[in-house]
Amino acid sequence: MLSQENLVPALPDGTLALTFDDGPGPHSLPIGHFLHEQGIRATFFVVGRSIRETPKILSELQALGHAIGNHTDTHPRLPLLDTAEAVKREVAETHRLIEASGCQPPHLLRAPYGYWTAGLAAILNTDPELSRYSGPFGWSVENLDYRIGLPRDPKVMDSPIHTFESCCESYLKQVREKRQGVVLIHDWAADPEPKLRKQLRAGNRSLEITRWLIPRIKSDFKFVRLDELPAPTARFAPAAAPPLPAPAIQPGQAWANLARLPT
Ligand SMILES: [Zn+2]
């Protein structure tokens, strides 16, 4: 059954769950192979839109020991959908695509952007298949990895560019301070807005982040998949939904325009 609230599993001290969102994409298999070589199993929350673009990846990821989770079909803000049928279709279609790719869906759900309501849980829990899902799973460690190369905060003028180095260092700092948690990295982008999706995909550094981070933390942590957790370990997420991705702006152009505004 899906929970009324976003869930962030309370993992034992020294335990991390690596999660990769919005794929599959070109980085997913290299990440999957790299983690496999390191003896690490992760959870990939995939989007139907991305599965259709690269349909042959999922079964190989699963064969490497990784779990495949459902992250909806078109990556919408689920609470904004008009009908219960539209909500069910978003999850059911990706469930179908995961099965069609030869995988066993582990019935894990992550809501796009972490947006979730009790009403969504009620809708999906009326469906015999979808009510077998657990989640939706939130996260506790992330650092805007999808904004590398862009202004870190698009709403703030003169916001510094989010660099690869600052992104990686922040992941490392959070993991070491929290000592446990669900780590979110985006192995692709599935935003509904085509221009923004293209922009975010062009800057994706997920493989490099993974290669940078894992050697620095591997010996200090045990790594688990989300479907390996006993159900009672889940607890309600303490924080509200994370910030939405940036609006579709051309970064350089937007800041130049702002600078030309009359003072
Ligand atoms: Zn997502």
- How much distance in Å is there from the Cα of 111 to the middle of ligand 1? 7
Given a contact cutoff of 8 angstroms between Cβ atoms, the answer to whether 114 and 140 are in contact is: no
In the 8-state DSSP scheme, what is residue 24? -
**Structure confidence at residue 262 (pLDDT):** 33
Please report, for the chain, the start and end positions of each structural domain, with discontinuous segments joined by +: 7-259
Q: Quick one: which of 182, 161, 179 has its CA closest to 226? A: 182
**Structure confidence at residue 154 (pLDDT):** 80
pTM score, whole prediction: 0.87
**Structure confidence at residue 231 (pLDDT):** 60
Helix (H) / strand (E) element for 200: namely helix 194-202
Q: Which residues contact 148 (CB under 8 A, 6 or more apart)?
A: 162, 163, 164, 167, 203, 205
- How much distance in Å is there from the Cα of 75 to the middle of ligand 1? 6
Measure the CA–CA gap between 196 and 236, rounded to whole angstroms.
31
**Structure confidence at residue 152 (pLDDT):** 82
- How much distance in Å is there from the Cα of 263 to the middle of ligand 1? 38
Q: What residues does the ion ligand 1 have nearby, CB within 5 Å?
A: 21-22, 112
In the beta sheet, which residues pair with residue 45?
A: 21, 69
- How much distance in Å is there from the Cα of 261 to the middle of ligand 1? 34
Q: Which residues contact 165 (CB under 8 A, 6 or more apart)?
A: none
- How much distance in Å is there from the Cα of 72 to the middle of ligand 1? 9
- How much distance in Å is there from the Cα of 51 to the middle of ligand 1? 13
**Structure confidence at residue 119 (pLDDT):** 95
Q: What is the pLDDT along the chain (263 residues), one digit of tens a residue?
A: 999 998 988 899 999 999 999 999 999 999 999 999 999 999 999 999 999 998 889 999 999 999 999 999 999 999 999 999 999 999 999 999 999 999 988 899 999 999 999 999 999 999 999 999 999 999 999 988 988 888 888 888 888 888 999 999 999 999 999 999 999 999 999 999 999 999 999 999 999 999 999 999 999 999 999 999 876 444 544 444 544 443 333 333 332 222 222 33
Measure the CA–CA gap between 104 and 121, rounded to whole angstroms.
22
Question: Which of the listed CATH numbers 3.30.420.40, 3.40.50.720, 3.20.20.370, 3.40.50.920 matches domain 7-259?
Answer: 3.20.20.370
